[in-house]
Amino acid sequence: MTKTDNAAIHAPISRRGFAVGAVAAAGLAALPVRAQEKFPDKTIEVVTHAGVGGGTDITARMMMVHAPGAFKTEFAVVNKVGGSGAAALGYATGKPRDGYTIMLITQTHLLTIMQGKAQVKYDEIVGLARATDDPQILMVGKSSPLKSASELIAAGKAKPLKVGATQLGGVDHLAVFGFAKKAGIQQPTVVPFRGGGDIVINTVSGNVDVGILNYAEAESQVKAGDVRPLLTLAAKRLGPLPDVPSAKDLGLDASYSTVRGFVALKGVPEDRLKILEDGLLKAMGGQMYASYIQTSGQSPESVAGRKGWQAQLDAFYTEGQDALKALGLLK
């Protein structure tokens, strides 16, 4: 039922997407990018799917504090809200692939592409630099009987846990699904909430057994002892939580994090990609950006270059596709 509904709704989009793509391609052929031009010599647009003031929007603006110095040109944020990134991807598709349009994306964009809701294909996404890397952490409320990661896993084997997460079929849900599979626990019941704040509240009050959260989302509750972090879903322990075991400590290869990073669309000349990568890394190496990463409780190794970022995107895309299929959310 659900599957056929999806198919019926999305068929027209892919047709239109194809048409727009074709038009854009024709436009590109007519206006070849001259590689010898000085790059960049005009304003670079950063397209985000977040509204002004949203988390991703703030990340973009923090990078931009030092960007004019690093690039010797101006930057502007373009907020294209809607369709879980589809509006932002659509906007960027309509722009010439000359490097003056870059996107700040999250995994949500990749999920949108997977479901065929965007006008681009995954192989057109070219990673430039990672901006934030925020590991997912499993946390329980103060009054929860679960005291350690091993108790959590034992409880999860006995009966399905209730886990507070965001959007069904979203990044959190895939992390819960993947962790459950790797830890060999019963698939939990995911209770979806609108945002991290709601998950924290319902974890503290015990409405859900476990909350899947980023450190910053629950920092004050962790410090006040209202919430107990049990397991960091990463290969390494998180700096501010040295006593919380990582998945690798338990022998699990379960790394799930919320990432944001800059990408361009395929077609931008290689020399410009390199200039963009170097400039972005330089801008994010600035003091303002470093203190933003630190105060928002993100991993200090958040910023990464093209190679690592592209590998992470590829891994998420492959695993996410399998998970969505297993959950019946993707044909």
Partner 1 sequence: MDAVLAGLAAISDPYMLFLVLAGTVLGIIVGALPGISGSTTTALLLPLTVMMSPTQAIAFLGAIYCAANYGGSITAILINTPGDPSASATAFDGYPMAVRGEAGRALGMSAVASAIGGIFSVFVLIVAAPLLARLAYQFGPPEYFALAVFGLSMVAAIGGDSAVKNLLAAAFGVLLATVGLDLTTGVERFTFGVYALSDGIEFIPVLIGLFAIAELLEQAAQHGIVQKVIALETVKLPTLADFRKCAKAITISSVIGTFIGVLPALGATTAALFCYNETKRWSKYKHEFGKGAIEGVAGPEAANNAAVGGAMVPTLALGIPGSTTTAIILAGMIVQGVRPGPHLFTEQPTLLYVVFWSMLAANLLYLVLGLGAAKLFARIALIPNAYLWPAVFVLSVVGAYAPNQSMIDVWTMLIFGVVGFALRRYGFSPAPLIMGLVLGKLVEETMKQSLLIFDQSWLMFLSRPVVVVLFAVTLAGLFAPVIAKAWRRVRA
Residues that bind partner 1 (CB under 8 A): 2, 5-6, 9-13, 51-53, 55, 57-58, 61-62, 64-65, 78-84, 86-87, 90, 117, 162, 167-170, 189-194, 197-198, 200-202, 204-205, 207-208, 216, 219-221, 223-224, 226, 288, 291-292, 295-296, 329
> What residues are paired with 82 via a beta bridge?
none
Shortest distance (Å) from residue 209 CB to partner 1:
10
32 or 53: CB nearest partner 1: 53
Shortest distance (Å) from residue 61 CB to partner 1:
6
Shortest distance (Å) from residue 205 CB to partner 1:
5
6 or 249: CB nearest partner 1: 6
Shortest distance (Å) from residue 11 CB to partner 1:
8
For every residue of 104-120, DSSP letters joined together read EEEHHHHHHHHTT-SSS
Shortest distance (Å) from residue 41 CB to partner 1:
24
149 or 265: CB nearest partner 1: 265
For 155, residues 6+ apart whose C-beta sits below 8 A from its C-beta are: 146, 161, 209
Is the distance from CB of 257 to CB of 36 less than 8 angstroms?
no
133 or 219: CB nearest partner 1: 219
Q: How far apart are CA 54 and CA 61, in angstroms?
A: 11
* Amino acid identity for residue 304 in this structure: A
Which of 176, 238, 237 lies closest to 209, judged by CA?
Answer: 176
289 or 309: CB nearest partner 1: 289
Shortest distance (Å) from residue 118 CB to partner 1:
8
Q: How far apart are CA 83 and CA 156, in angstroms?
A: 34
Shortest distance (Å) from residue 272 CB to partner 1:
26
Is the distance from CB of 135 to CB of 233 less than 8 angstroms?
yes
10 or 95: CB nearest partner 1: 10
- Tokens 């630190």, residue located: 294
Q: Cα dihedral angle (88, 262, 59, 62), rounded to 10 degrees?
A: -120
- Tokens 């679960």, residue located: 146
For every residue of 51-83, DSSP letters joined together read PTTSHHHHHHHHHHHHHHHHHSS-EEEEE--SG
How many helices (DSSP H) and strands (DSSP E) are in the chain?
11, 9
Shortest distance (Å) from residue 90 CB to partner 1:
7
Is the distance from CB of 110 to CB of 175 less than 8 angstroms?
no
Shortest distance (Å) from residue 84 CB to partner 1:
7
Query: Within its chain, how far is the Cα of 300 from the centroid?
Result: 17
Number of Cβ within 10 Å of residue 300's Cβ equals: 11
188 or 261: CB nearest partner 1: 188
114 or 250: CB nearest partner 1: 114
150 or 205: CB nearest partner 1: 205
Environment class of residue 209 by beta-carbon count within 10 Å: exposed (0-12), middle (13-18) or buried (19+)?
buried
